[in-house]
Chains A and B, each alone.
Chain A
Amino acid sequence: MNWHYIVSILPALLSGTQTTLIIFITTLVLSIPLGIVVSIGLRSGWRPLQWVLNAYVWLMRGTPLLLQLIFIFYGLPMVSIYFDRMSAVFLAFVLNYAAYFAEIFRGGLQGIPQGQYDAAKVLKLTPLQTFRLVVLPQVVKSVIPAVGNEVINLVKDSSLVYVLGIGDLLRAGNIAAARDVTLIPLVLVGIVYLALTALLTWGLRSLEKHYAYYR
């Protein structure tokens, strides 16, 4: 092991990690609320809205995220719609992940028995109070495992931004590996991804434990 070499490429890898984390965090922070809103729309009684949202979810889940990225960044300019690299990334990732989250939350909402809504109604709770105090806390618990899977996927999917030439963790490693003709940067990249997913797995376990106080 050449420690000297490792130390020399560390700043590049750290900067790449930072970009990866920005993509990861921004996507999560925006796509989870959007997914909740979409899932509520999917369960609204209003047919046109349901139709549009179902089409959106179907499109996002039925085509590769890589295609969506390329479509937005390289395709749309052909019809005079331009996004800078990071905007294209956020748009594609948020839309894509919100669709997955919407499906998960829709399932979670479906799991709440009608009787819970009935109980809330006879207790005079407003629809908003019912959602906030009765429905949402139970849905959160039930969706943690599925959401957790998507969160782990997102860490790895973030490397797809490579095709737009964004300097994420993977690109940083790949540049160093090609330049210095060595595997070490790629191994380090793998280690960083492993560390991130391990950390998230641990966080998700803790969250599950936190919600294990009731059944």
Chain B
Amino acid sequence: MLELKNINKAFGNRVIYRNFNLTIQDGDTLGIVGPSGAGKTTLLRMITGLEPIDSGELLLNGTPIDPFRNRADAGKVGVVFQDFQLFPHLDVLANVLIGPVYAQHTDRAAATQAAEKLLTQLGLADHARDYPYQLSGGQQQRVAIARALALQPAVLAYDEPTSALDPAMTADVAQLIKGFARQGMTQLIVTHDMPFIDQIQPRVITVGRDDDAQVSA
């Protein structure tokens, strides 16, 4: 269970979040929707430790975490970036292995086995030795998903997962996320693509309806 408690966040005097609270239950798949500039990406960056929180608390299963300052807390929320940010100089397998092998010090053989299993689940078994530039957008996204899952995060967050995809690939990733939801994975989908959300039908939270984009849920 991931809880955001009384989160405040501003950029200069532009307040994005004011006393914002949100609870994501284990096994929940939650959609966060809202207009451009509402602060969806900012929310995702705060819970993944890429952006500091001005005040408030992040709790994972009741324990406070600070992924921005504390590397031990990083990776607990995995993220699939809008533009994936795969490492272009590493092949697919190496992209997936880099977290477990270098950050978690998992034995390389064991990590490789786990990574290959993940890649197979994601339909990428034949692409383990390909480089990111050789893959389609949808395949690159699945590599990004595999790379995040390799660290066994408590929550997997997606930022605008359909923005780089054509409609057929969008349907594929909707199926994938629904499949993960059925497996009991905890997921957070940040998007303004409503038809996509309709395909998944998760619980949905809307942010940033106010003109001044102060957000409270």
Asked whether B102 lies within 8 Å of A119 as measured between CB atoms, the reply is no
Mark interface residues in A16-33 (1 if CB within 8 Å of B CB, else 0): 000000000000000000
- CB–CB B102/A129 < 8 A: yes
Q: Decide: A124 and B75 in contact? CB cutoff 8 A.
A: yes
A: interface residue count bin: 20 to 34
Instruction: List A residues 163-215 near B (Cβ within 8 Å).
Output: 213-215
Q: Interface code A118-149, partner B: CB below 8 Å = 1, 0 otherwise?
A: 11011111100100011001100100000000
Q: Is A62 an interface residue (CB 8 A)?
A: no
Q: Are the C-beta atoms of B48 and A122 separated by less than 8 Å? A: yes
Q: In the complex the two chains form, is A115's CB within 8 Å of B83's CB? A: yes
Among candidates A121, A133, A213, residue contacting B74 with C-beta atoms closer than 8 Å: A121
Contact B89 A124 (CB under 8 A): no
Within 8 A of A (CB), among B137-179: 147-148, 151
Q: Number of A-B pairs whose CB atoms are under 8 Å?
A: 64
B93 CB to nearest chain A CB (Å): 14
Q: Is there an interface contact between B75 and A214, defined as CB atoms closer than 8 Å? A: no
Complex Cα distance, B79 from A133, in Å, reads: 20
Cβ-neighbour of B89 out of A119, A125, A141 (below 8 A): A141
Number of interface residues of B (CB under 8 A): 28
User: What 0/1 readout, one digit per residue, does chain B (46-78) give for beta carbons within 8 Å of chain A?
Assistant: 001110000000000000000000010011011
Are B50 and A121 in touch, CB under 8 angstroms? yes
User: Which residue on A lies nearest to B78, using beta carbons?
Assistant: A122
Q: Looking at the assembled complex, report how far the CB atom of A178 sits from the nearest CB atom of chain B, in whole angstroms.
A: 53
B147 touches A116 (CB 8 A): no
Q: Is the CB of B85 within 8 A of A118?
A: yes
B196 at the A/B interface (Cβ < 8 Å)? no
Q: Is there an interface contact between B102 and A133, defined as CB atoms closer than 8 Å?
A: yes
Q: B77 — which chain A residues lie within 8 A by C-beta?
A: 122
Ranked 10 nearest A-B pairs via Cβ: A124-B103, A123-B99, A119-B85, A115-B85, A124-B75, A215-B133, A214-B131, A124-B74, A137-B89, A122-B48
New A-B pairs, 16, CB < 8 Å, besides A123-B98, A134-B87: A118-B50, A119-B85, A119-B87, A121-B50, A122-B50, A122-B77, A122-B78, A122-B79, A122-B148, A123-B99, A124-B71, A125-B102, A126-B103, A129-B102, A133-B98, A214-B132
Would you mind naming 6 contact pairs between A and B with Cβ atoms under 8 Å apart? A119-B86, A119-B87, A122-B49, A125-B98, A125-B99, A214-B131
